[in-house]
Structure 1
Amino acid sequence: MHQNSDIKTLAELLVHSLKLYGHNFIFGTTGAGEAEIQDAISKEGDIKWIQALHEFTAVSSAEGYSLAKNKTGIALVDRIVGTQNSIGALYSAYINMAPMLVFSSRDIAGTHLLKDPTAHYSSKHLQIVEPWVKWSNNSQTEKMLEEDLSKALFITQLEPKGISFITLRHDLMQRRYNGIKIRIKNFYYNYRVPDEKTIGIISNKILEAQHPEIFISHAGRNPEYVETMVKFAEMFGIKVRERRYFMSFPLRHPLHLGFSPRMKPPELGNDDLALLFEFGILPGNKLNENVDVIDVSTDFVRRRDIYSGGDYGSSNLFNSMDIICDLGPTLEVIMKHAKIQGSDMNLIKERRARIEDKHNKLMEEIKESANNDIKSGRITASSIGHIINSNWENGMTFINGSISLNTKINLQMDLPEPGSYFSNPSGHLGSPVGMAYGAFLAKNEENYLNGIRNYKPVICITGDGDAIFGNFTSALWSVKHYNLGVVYIILNNGSWAVEWPYFENTIERIVAEKHDHQFIDLDSPRISYSKMAEAFSISSYDVRTLEEFDSALKNAINGARRGEPAVIDIIMDKFNP
């Protein structure tokens, strides 16, 4: 139980309780409905308010913090209008399985002490958010405050991790504190693992297979799972391919065979066993019916380990086994159960030799692709990725919001550290620009709170269209105002290029055959992201050559270590399909 005689209102009690639960940041925006809570934040002092200029960016930054810290991120939005503004960010966080607690203020007609006629009266917040949150509640009474907070925080970290959403009555937050005691809980989470019979079946299938393959999508969101997956693949001699939304398996590991397409089904080749580790298949896609498929997921509805899974999620039509569990602990149990005989060891050695040969060839192709582009001086996905990788330092974090160039950039990036890479599997454009500065605070929390400007930079690369959707100017204001060492790299090709394939697949193909770009156009005028940065007194660079990019990146990283953000605007040729 906690009781503090210095607390005067329920808003102060809420904010103080969040601090006692170990939260140092609240990401949000201004708003009349939040005034009591912001009053309490100002009084508390030890909990930092991180202001955004739009709710979408505020919630996206809480998402980035939660993923990079592997801890519940806290956001506060203003009434029904702020809730509506944040929906896209909530969807992005939902697909990323980001643990977040989002508060929204709520005014009840006739109760607003300021008698504000524009108070946005509404009690229907929950109807808007419920598709994308794990639990939602209108907090109604002061007696329920400790229960609401405890349940909300617990649920965010329970697999599959996700969002709790609570509305806070403005009049309730204004009430005088009457000595109510708040219980601060230590949560206990048990692991879900399959029964012994199921573990035995999986183990036998792996040992009996001649050509097994692991496909991973979201598993690296829990950094501690990465080492387990590496041990598992090594123990059984299994090749691995990723959809890289997180760093789920080190690219340079000899069992890694590259990346699988975001939306298309994986190419199984001569596989006779496919192990899908939090790797969903979009409905309508088909897998080879002759391949044994074991699908291991944390989400029984299968909406969140798949690109743009939405409310339908993954298909399970081709799975021979659907396993709902916690992946890391389950792999540990399988390894413990497996009884590998001498004959099995010979098979595993043969597998590893074949896989390592393919891996080495892939690495040579990746290296050659970058070298060719570097020699020619061309700005391409490969040469951009190569230069970022050559300037990389341990402890840095990479947020990749690019779409059409995503995979080729990733192929050049070593990124050996779990928790060093995040992306946007939702398909909802814009969230990476806010995620980046939330991730910066997560990775540099201790130094930031103690005023020690010796930071680990965050690099966020994204397209010009994505930046526009993400309220880029809101993010620029925040990174400058709070001295956050984020380096934004904008792939400026004057187009929403990722949308073009859809025009090539229309029935009549009118737009495609006319090369009518007006529906994806971001050119004439070409947007200057460096000029945007200048408006916020942020260091900026216009880049048109690889030499300029390398020099700009070095300077930007040096500044980011001191908490100085930067924008690198890569001026590319206009997209021309």
Structure 2
Amino acid sequence: MYTASSIFLKSLADAGITHAFVNWGSDHPAILEDLERQRVENGGDTNPRIVTCPNEMVALSAAQGYAQVTGKPAAVIVHVDVGTQAMAGAIHNVDRSHTPVLIYAGASPFSSEREHKGTRNEWIMWLQDIPDQSAIVRQYMRFTAQIGSGTTIPQILRRSLQIATSEPKGPVYLWARREVMEEEVDSSHIQTASSLVKWPSVEATALSESATVQIASALLTAQHPLILTSHLGRNPAAVSAVVALSGLLYIPVVSVCPSAVNLPFSHPFYAGVSFLAPGTHSPHLQEADVILIMDCDLPWIPANDKPLDDARVFVVDGGDPLKGTVGYWHVGAELICRADAEVALTQLADAVVTLNSALPDSILGSQALATRAMEELETKFLTSSEPDPAYFTVPNLLGVLRTTIQANTPSAGRKVLVLNESTSNFPAVWMHLRPEVPGSVISSGGSSLGWALGAAVGAHIGGEVAKKGHELVVVIVGDGSYLFGVPSSAYWMARKYNTPFLTIVLNNGGWKSPKLSMLGVHPTGHGSKASGARLSVGFGPESPDFAQIAVAASAGWAWGKRVGMDGNYGKAALEAVIEEAVKVVVNEKRCAVVDCALESI
């Protein structure tokens, strides 16, 4: 017997969805039944492959990590209104990061007296029947729809994926009542293929000829041109394009709140990162006379730092140049263009060559100085003073981590994927990791914490599907982000699906970011001298043993140690623990967690 759920699962597979990250409920009997039918008929296999997720936010984060690595959407299946709500901040992350994901949620049955198969038979089905289930997530979705019939499922799935994979890419949400998914269908509907061949995503757009000439001419005549970007590196080919353009005119490139590697660290025109705290923007901003803002979430905060009043500003974005889903957003610009980064940058480079009569002959020299300054920070370990032992700094930790990975992976670190959710330490992590390879470091692209652990599971699976050849997956999180990531679910999943990764916990004893936000508004107020514990943002007096949470969740499979506490102090201890952790993941294929003590908040 085939049902609408049979068509649903087959349509997902036909559309290229290889994995579904699921959290089952009372609305999914027909799906569970058809999956077992597949196992019986196919020797135990299902299509798509099912990844069980004990927590919905972890499920969606895993699907996001999968899509970020493969460039292709995964499916997420959750339970009615409560499962939809439990995806929580991960909904924000997939929206803001423009990550294509197909989310399906069941809904309470509409019948209650056995009028239809699947009618209400549990008390919760009255409580979970809300007036507009998709309203919970609609403002974050590119498309929402209710499935009303089994025979129309292929069309609605194809339309959903066509929208999800077209700029501005992002999540879509489908839902259906239980009776609809239990609808019996003729086998002919199962035998009909439903590929995406005639449902392509929208082709990448280009700059108009006039815009290309105007921007290229401005860059050619500029004394101090500048490129600002957040995420053009989500497309690795766009990195090559920005390297070409910056090299022609010696244009510094600043990564502003980056979520991808936008330029190799060693490139002479890489001008660092900024997360827009007061006074921390690149010094190039204050002298730039022409600024190209390319795939950038926010180029500057006017109250903190801003460019010259007479600077010529051009905004180019492949999906949403006006940031229409943001309540208020404005950049005073000469031109605002919707164009794909790779295409637009290639156009501009070609136009520069055509228009140019004499290219500049100077070169930036600040990169080497910045690198030496970072090396000094990495190698300067604090001296222990009794009775309080010295803590590690983030540069200490990252310097050891980077060199240890280089020494203990076959590619010397070039085939390592890092998921960065270090929050208040974002700038330091991006700079001290010194990433060279496009796609080698990613973040959530949003601001909801708890992405990295689940995303590591999905990224590991996605890396295998896409044959990325990752030798090591590394997660760098703050202690707050670690707890937000529901480690009990994430490490259980890692064990079940054999997706080992290394987790570095930057443990400063609580949530540093809320304290920094308070100091930004009240720098000398009552709270400026208060400890994290007094401000209620600390995790003391005894910090959780983060490593042992992972060990327990994986039934002893994961490995974990603390460093900088429990008598385990000093440079030698840090180097030994990090090396052991890397080898556990690379050689033994197990998860490893290093809980590293930093200066307490």
Regarding TM over 0.5, the answer is yes
**Quick one: distance in 1 between partners of 2:213 and 2:466?**
45
Equivalence for 2:551? 534
Q: Does 1:398 align with 2:413?
A: no
> Is the Cα–Cα contact under 8 Å of residues 440 and 457 in structure 1 kept in the other structure?
no
* Most deviating of 455-464 and 179-188: 179-188
Q: 1:90 to 1:385 in 2, by over 3 A?
A: same
* Aligned 1:295-374 pairs, distance under 5 A: 295-300=315-320, 302-303=322-323, 311-312=326-327, 314-316=329-331, 318-340=332-354, 343-345=357-359, 347=360, 349-350=361-362, 353=363, 355=364, 357-373=365-381
Question: Which residue number corresponds to residue 158 of structure 2?
Answer: 150
1:447 Cα deviation from its structure 2 partner = 7.3
Query: Aligned partner of 1:16: which letter?
Result: K
Change beyond 3 A, Cα 1:573–1:342: closer
Task: Classify the secondary structure of the residue corresponding to 2:28.
Answer: helix
CA-based RMSD: 2.4
The alpha-carbon deviation at position 202 of structure 1 amounts to 0.8
Match of 2:136 in 1: 128
1:158-211 Cα offsets, whole Å, 9 max, x none, are 112111111133222212122323521222532211211111111101101011
Structure 1, residues 392-422: CA drift from partner, whole Å, max 9, x if none?
Answer: 4222100010012221122121322211111
Deviations 1:341-379 (A, max 9, x none): 67422x2x22xx2x1x11221122122221224899862
2:293 corresponding residue in structure 1:
276
Matched with 2:123 is 117
Q: Is the 8 A contact 1:29 1:54 kept in 2?
A: yes
Distance in 1, Cα, partners of 2:330 & 2:356 = 38
Matched, 1:87 2:88: yes
Q: 1:515 deviation in Å?
A: 4.5
How many Å apart are 1:33 and its aligned residue? 1.5
Q: Secondary structure at the match of 2:542?
A: coil
Does 2:244 align with 1:224? no
Task: Answer with 279-288 or 396-405: which moved more.
Answer: 279-288
Q: Does the CA contact (< 8 Å) of 2:547 and 2:560 recur in 1?
A: yes
Whole-angstrom distance in 1 between the partners of 2:20 and 2:96? 22
Moved more, 149-158 or 544-553: 544-553
Q: Is the 8 A contact 2:220 2:356 kept in 1?
A: no
Q: Which digits, 9 at most, give the CA deviation of each residue in 1:139-168, with x for residues without a partner?
A: 112232111110111111111211111113
| Aligned mates of 1:198, 1:251 — CA distance in 2 | 30
Question: 1:473 — aligned with what?
Answer: 488
CA distance in 1, matches of 2:481, 2:372: 32
Q: 1:101 to 1:494 in 2, by over 3 A?
A: same
Query: What corresponds to 1:549 in structure 2?
Result: 574
Q: Is the 8 A contact 2:314 2:336 kept in 1?
A: yes
Q: Kindly tell me: are residues 41 and 337 of structure 1, through their superposed partners in 2, closer, same or farther at Cα, counting changes over 3 Å?
A: farther
Match in the other structure for 2:225: 212
Structure 2: stretches of 5+ with no match in the other structure: 39-44, 385-389, 407-412
Please state how far the C-alpha of 1:30 moved relative to its aligned partner.
Answer: 2.5
- Structure 1 residue 303 displacement after superposition: 3.7
Residue among 368, 372, 381 paired with 2:394: 381
Deviations 1:402-445 (A, max 9, x none): 01222112212132221111113422111122111111111123
User: Retained in 2: the 8 A contact 1:455–1:485?
Assistant: no
Alignment-derived partner of residue 41 in structure 2: none
Picking from 415, 419, 427, the partner of 1:407 is: 427
Offset at residue 497 of structure 1 (A): 0.7
**Contact between 2:316 and 2:341, CA under 8 Å: does it hold in 1?**
yes
Is residue 159 from structure 1 mapped to residue 159 from structure 2 by the alignment?
no
**In structure 2, what residue type is equivalent to 1:324?**
R
Helix, strand or coil for the counterpart of 2:400? helix
Question: Which position in structure 1 is the counterpart of 2:10?
Answer: 16
Q: 3-state SS of the aligned residue for 2:60?
A: helix
Q: Counterpart of 1:564?
A: 590
What does the per-residue CA deviation read over 1:71-93, in whole Å, with 9 as the maximum and x for residues that have no partner?
11211111110001113101011
Structure 1 CA distance for aligned equivalents of residues 240 and 5 of structure 2? 42
Q: Which runs of 5+ in 1 are unaligned?
A: 1-6, 305-309, 449-453
Cα 1:327–1:58, aligned 2, differ >3 Å: closer, same or farther?
same
When residues 122 and 42 of structure 1 are mapped into structure 2, their CA distance, relative to the original with a 3 A threshold, is farther
CA distance in structure 2 between the partners assigned to 1:193 and 1:455 by the alignment: 33
Comparing 462-471 with 542-551, which one deviates more in the overlay?
542-551
1:34 and 2:47 aligned: no
* Aligned residue in 1 for 2:274: 260
In structure 2, distance between residues paired with 1:437 and 1:311: 30
The answer to whether the 8 Å contact 1:458/1:485 transfers is yes
1:142 counterpart letter in structure 2: G
Structure 2 length-normalised TM: 0.86
TM-score normalised by L of structure 1: 0.90
**Does the Cα contact within 8 Å between 1:443 and 1:456 map onto a contact in 2?**
no
Gap change, CA 1:341 and 1:24, over 3 Å in 2: closer
Secondary structure in structure 1 of the residue aligned to 2:293: strand
- Structure 2 residue aligned with 1:463: 478
Q: Is the 8 A contact 1:503 1:509 kept in 2?
A: no
Q: Which stretch of structure 1 is more off in the superposition, 471-480 or 438-447?
A: 438-447
